[in-house]
Amino acid sequence: MTAPVLVLVDHTEDGAVRAPVRELLTLARELSGGAGVHAAWAVDGVEPSPEAVAELAALGATHVHRVVVDADPHLSAVLAEALASLLDATGAGLLLVVSSFENKEAAARLAISTGAGVVTDADGLAQVDGRYVASKTVFAGTWNTTCAVTAPLAIVALKPNSVQPSVLEGAPAAQVGEHAVTVSDKARRVALVERTERPASGRPDLGSASIVVAGGRGTEGDFSVVEELADVLGAAVGATRVATDEGWIGHDAQIGQTGVTIAPRLYVGVGVSGAVHHRGGMQASGTIVAINSDPDAPIFEIADFGVVGDLFTVVPQAAAEIRRLKG
Ligand SMILES: Cc1cc2nc3c(=O)[nH]c(=O)nc-3n(C[C@H](O)[C@H](O)[C@H](O)COP(=O)(O)OP(=O)(O)OC[C@H]3O[C@@H](n4cnc5c(N)ncnc54)[C@H](O)[C@@H]3O)c2cc1C
């Protein structure tokens, strides 16, 4: 089965391609079988720069579509209609999006309107016997499953850190074109009235970071040790619900069943017991390191490396040693 693949390009307000998009394009390149990789850039006031187009081409995009919609493309109904129109125009058999709340909502709407099969929170995707087969963990990370899309069109929302991104040596330039979309009145029933930018922490985004250091009740509200270790590792800072409920850190840092689901290459839990609701959001991490004073803490059941000790002693020592090794 060879069919063009469409990739939704998430970008920052500065016009930079977000890191997980590199993974989508790497995967799209393999799965398209040479039938073409179409990158969709929803113009939300930010245009794809020549540098961004060159980056997309190097990752395998054969076409870059400037999707110009007559409504706000950050609204899921609007984005779904814009992508439906582009799927039609490109004849793509697969749409790849980064698994974010915004994109998953658009994917669900799109699946209903197009009859596509949709898999969200996938951590892998392959072609098996002419079908797209995605892998994903379910039931709080306790089961690994594979889901085959049986509809002619597949939509897959891929979790960050699922694919090793790579560039294509000597990739040709991508064809850049405009795809204008007029959305229906139905899609205009919601209007975005206000947007407040979250103050930048300077650290990576929790949902897509490749290293996460999470703090729990054991920190007793002193997140400075967690932040110190995160900064020396170039990691995002996460937390348990206890820590966010106590107001020690914002709710957007909460990892778990009722928070963010993460799958970084490295997760470090600091004063985190490893309760089932927390594990549900981090169990799919590549390597799990736990620092806890209680040798019987449940997190040690899933940890690859564990340190039994007082976090206020262990973490500063670890940070100092990593800093020394880094020179
Ligand atoms: C419906 C529902 C949804 C939930 N959703 C979530 C969710 O999304 N995310 C989430 O995280 N929780 C969630 N919870 C809460 C969850 O059940 C746990 O209560 C919570 O994860 C525990 O957080 P904790 O590990 O910080 O605290 P605790 O379980 O109290 O663990 C603290 C750990 O710190 C260790 N410790 C203490 N002092 C030190 C020290 N000085 N040095 C080293 N270690 C130390 C202790 O040994 C202990 O293991 C949910 C609960 C419910 C009921």
The answer to whether position 202 is within a domain reads: no
The answer to whether position 193 is within a domain reads: no
pLDDT digits (tens, 9 = 90+) for 300-314: 999 999 999 999 999
Of 137, 155, 188, the position where a domain reaches its end is: 188
Task: Judge if the beta carbon of residue 218 lies within 6 A of ligand 1.
Answer: yes
Does 114 share its domain with 219?
Answer: no
Q: How far is the CA of 278 from the centre of ligand 1 (A)?
A: 7
Task: Judge if the beta carbon of residue 251 lies within 6 A of ligand 1.
Answer: no
Does 173 share its domain with 238?
Answer: no
Task: Judge if the beta carbon of residue 261 lies within 6 A of ligand 1.
Answer: no
- Answer for the pair 178, 65: CB distance below 8 angstroms, yes or no: yes
Amino acid at 238: G
pLDDT digits (tens, 9 = 90+) for 94-137: 999 999 989 999 999 999 999 999 999 999 999 999 999 999 98
Does 47 share its domain with 125?
Answer: yes
Task: Judge if the beta carbon of residue 283 lies within 6 A of ligand 1.
Answer: no
Does 163 share its domain with 64?
Answer: yes
pLDDT digits (tens, 9 = 90+) for 182-227: 999 999 999 889 888 777 778 999 998 999 999 999 999 999 999 9
- CA 218 from chain centre, in angstroms, equals 28
Q: How far is the CA of 142 from the centre of ligand 1 (A)?
A: 18
The CATH code of the domain that includes 261 is: 3.40.50.1220
The answer to whether position 203 is within a domain reads: no
Does 250 share its domain with 141?
Answer: no
Does 179 share its domain with 218?
Answer: no
- Residue 137 pLDDT: 85
The answer to whether position 302 is within a domain reads: yes
Q: What is the ipTM of this complex?
A: 0.99
Mutate which of 206, 213, 217, 246 to test ligand 1's pocket (most atoms within 8 Å of Cβ)? 217
Task: Judge if the beta carbon of residue 222 lies within 6 A of ligand 1.
Answer: no
Q: How far is the CA of 20 from the centre of ligand 1 (A)?
A: 29
Residue closest by Cα to atom 29 of ligand 1: 273
Does 39 share its domain with 181?
Answer: yes
Helix axes 101-114 and 76-90, enclosed angle (nearest 10):
60
Task: Judge if the beta carbon of residue 294 lies within 6 A of ligand 1.
Answer: yes
Task: Judge if the beta carbon of residue 304 lies within 6 A of ligand 1.
Answer: no
- Cα–Cα distance measured from residue 167 to residue 158, given in angstroms and rounded to the nearest whole number: 19
Does 215 share its domain with 113?
Answer: no
Residue with tokens 């594979």: 146
Of 125, 157, 188, the position where a domain reaches its end is: 188
The answer to whether position 194 is within a domain reads: no
Does 247 share its domain with 312?
Answer: yes
Task: Judge if the beta carbon of residue 241 lies within 6 A of ligand 1.
Answer: yes
The answer to whether position 113 is within a domain reads: yes
Does 276 share its domain with 221?
Answer: yes
- Residue 196 pLDDT: 81
- Cα–Cα distance measured from residue 79 to residue 105, given in angstroms and rounded to the nearest whole number: 10
The answer to whether position 226 is within a domain reads: yes
Does 52 share its domain with 179?
Answer: yes
- Cα–Cα distance measured from residue 248 to residue 197, given in angstroms and rounded to the nearest whole number: 21
The answer to whether position 199 is within a domain reads: no
Does 28 share its domain with 148?
Answer: yes
Q: How far is the CA of 207 from the centre of ligand 1 (A)?
A: 20
Residue closest by Cα to atom 31 of ligand 1: 273
The CATH code of the domain that includes 11 is: 3.40.50.620
The parent domain of residue 21 ranges over 5-188
Tally of domains within the chain:
2
- Residue 1 pLDDT: 67
